[in-house]
Structure 1
Amino acid sequence: MKKIDSVYAASPDSLEFYAAQALKLTEQLKDIPSETKIQALRGVTLFLSGEHDKALKIYINAIRKAEKHPPFKELALLYYETGGLYSKNNDLITSGQYVSKGLKIALAAKNAAAIADGYNRVGVLYEKRKLLDSALHYYQNSLRTNKLAKDTLGMSYSMENIAGIYAQKDQPVRSIPYLKESLRLRKLVNNKFSLAIIHVNLAETYNALNKPDSAIKYANETIKIATEIKFLDIIKHTHNFLADIYEKKGDLKNALRHHQSFSTINDSIYNETKSKQIAELSKKFETEKKEQQIKSLHQQSTIQNLKIRQRTIMLAIAATLIVFISGLSYLIYNRRKLREEARLQSEINKHQEQTARAVLNAEEHERRRIATDLHDGVGQLLSVALMNMNTLFGKLKEGKIELSLADRSVALINESYDEMRTISHQMIPNALLKAGLSAAVREFLSKIDENKIKVTLETSGLDERLDEQTETLIYRIIQEAVNNVIKHAQASKLNIQLVRDEEGILLMVEDNGKGFDKTAVNQKKGIGLKNMLDRVELLKGTAEFDSAPGKGTLLAVNIPA
């Protein structure tokens, strides 16, 4: 199986030879999962070479065989690829049905790589419907899941898809870093299929940035790689792309050459006969499934009629006993249910009391800190100012004018005022009250020394204000998370993403610092971290850490709508 994977990544053209040998072995071993994966890769190879009808035939036959067994994770890949073929032929409804089936299996198997792949494919369907924010949400979920799974190729696909959304939002500058990092990752795994795709995406992005020479360079590299693996679909697309660029440059000779290449390949991939074959195969498969279901129901009905006659006598004998046992069981069940509900309610009350107490303790701690600041800072300054003013009034009564003493008194009062403003801002930032969460977070981050740590902030969906308590709690969560990074992480980069959509709010705080041992932190939480988690719980949210020594840290906070 590993040999098949490596051949597919490096040279899909050689796959059929090795696949035939591997399929004989899987049939002997009755290894259905491995056989399913091999058939999926065979279908992908045919799809890339433009043989969509042959690819669908392989997919349907493999699905028919695999569905006779309990679900397994390799079937998810087969569903994904079948959905991808329908998507390419603009049948988004059927595509969505297959992708949903695959994602359901991946989630049940708790397979992170397959889940991330599913999120990517759902994002593609949203993108095709021009629902860009929903697509971006699923691509970001896919990237986060791939990072957790340490799936290099999967991360590269997620980054490429995110870049595509920014390009469609007329933000090509934001696309380039994602595409360059995706290219770097794909070179590590030497997957020529994905290398061809990333090069054409870089070409299109540089063209959007009005850099035609860079676009032509990446497009030519695309054709070179795609030709090696007979990836006709992307070769066709790239020739059409180059024809447009050369036409805009006034190079009509090259424009005509690439347009002719595009037309030749396009005619070989898409024609009416192939479209009909795909539709007929799909219809035949669905009809066959329905006939099998009808036949199965008929057999079940016959067997059921035979069993009913035997059961009638047994039911008459058992009826009285069942009534007695049911009544007794109900009494026992009801008693246990009441006892369990009382126990659960007690646990809930206890947990709510602990959370409320923790919040009250945090508020009491904050009040004491403010009182100390007022006493030690503002109080001392005002005491000295008052003493100076009393002395000044005494001098005035004697007819003496002490300008220096008056200046010092005014300076002390001004300093007291500044101190009061600082304390007030620490309690509730002025920007949070006036401009909302996004502006307040930006103002807070702007005060961080860029020479020590480079901070980036991305926000989405925060045009409308949240309620005051929610904004304050999220602001404090971000404040605590950033302070923890500055104090403990020894990081040089800090990235914060704050996204709001119909499902709720997602906050991600990621640094490239020294990381930490999650088990040690779970055993011993500091006051700041505990206060932050209490605030997340007040918002009925969840907080997850992903970190290891030397690997940086990712904090993901999900707050439901």
Structure 2
Amino acid sequence: MLVKLNRLEEGTPALQVALRESEKIGSSQMEIKSLIPLLRLFDLRELRDSVFYYINKAEKILPALPLSSTEVLGYYEVKGQLMEKYGRYKESLEAFEIIEKHRGQSLQSPIDRLYYHLGLNYHGLNKDERAYEYMKEAYLAKDSLFAQEVQKQMSDLTVKYKTKEKEWEIEQLKRTQAEQYASMVQKIAWLVVALLIVTSICLVLLYKKRAAQKELDLRLARQYIDGLESERKRLAKELHDGVCNDLLGIEMYMQRSPNVEDTNLQTIFSLLEQARVDVRFISHELMPPSLQYANLDMMLSDYTERIEKIHGIHTQYFSSPLDMNWYQIPHQKAYELYRIVQEAITNAMLHGGAGAIKVSLAVDEDDFLSLSVQADGQKPKEETNKTEGIGLRTIADRVKCLDGICTFNYEDLGTILTVKLKV
């Protein structure tokens, strides 16, 4: 490899190492194999003394090997070429004549080249008659080899032609199969596209149907809530302007009685006053809250305090974060959330027998609002489900109008309503 790369000085030590290793193991065959390239290398480096030194070394090894061995004939072939190059025709002729005797063996040079070298050596020894004979043999052998080569090339071309023909047939078959496969893939692709189009159309129609249904549900929920609020407003006005005033009139009329100091009348006066206060509270609860000068946080705080004061139920209210600007919640959302808390607390008091209520309002970093109403007490009984269901439906419809999510959980410790929506 180093010789092929023209790194001759590096190749010499490597071959010398190989030669020494061959000597160590006592392999004459390996020694000759190492000497042959070493002779060529020294010749390329123009170190003739080294060439002759290793030729003498090889001559001492040759008797240990059969004359007809490939290594010996290879050595004589190299020696003959080198001696011919150096003008030592006699030694070169002797080497090539040994090869001629054993030309049935595997040789590196073809027979015409062998005759050619013999002719050159005879010419160098001034034996032109023999030189002519060998040169003639060389040309005849070359023509014979050329004919054989031509025949071989024709055979190779015929094989290649038939192979190409077969390959062409195979290629045609493959092309046909590829076209059929491409056609099938194209049909499948069109089928897939058609299915995707049909699926897309179905999905669009389904989406539109669901959107229309959602819009209808929202419209119905809004109508229900609007109707409920209108009825609340009407009832609040009737209670305030009618029942409250009637109770006040009865109280004033009875105060004109001559027996006004009677204990029974005083008891009736107290009951009428309490009834009037209760009716006023109910009237105010039914009226829509005013959010013009107050925010949701303030309204819920005030409402829970009134619940505890009037009904004697322990009520807690928490809001977070502390630095939250509650005015940024739109009035309509704040109004609906206030009504949801009202409805949830009313349900807890009427149907759950609640003794303690906790209301919490929070807004996280992503502007998601979370409202929860937790009340102790019992799960509503079967006979109260119908009336309680109206309140739950009202809560659900209000949350739907807010595009939020609500959940009801009945646990051992009571009932928890949770509402979540985007502010």
TM-score interval, smaller chain: 0.3 to 0.5
More helix by percentage: 1
TM-score of the aligned structures, taking structure 2 as reference length:
0.44
Structure with max Cα Rg = 2
Larger relative contact order, structure 1 or 2 (CA cutoff 8 Å, min sep 6): 2
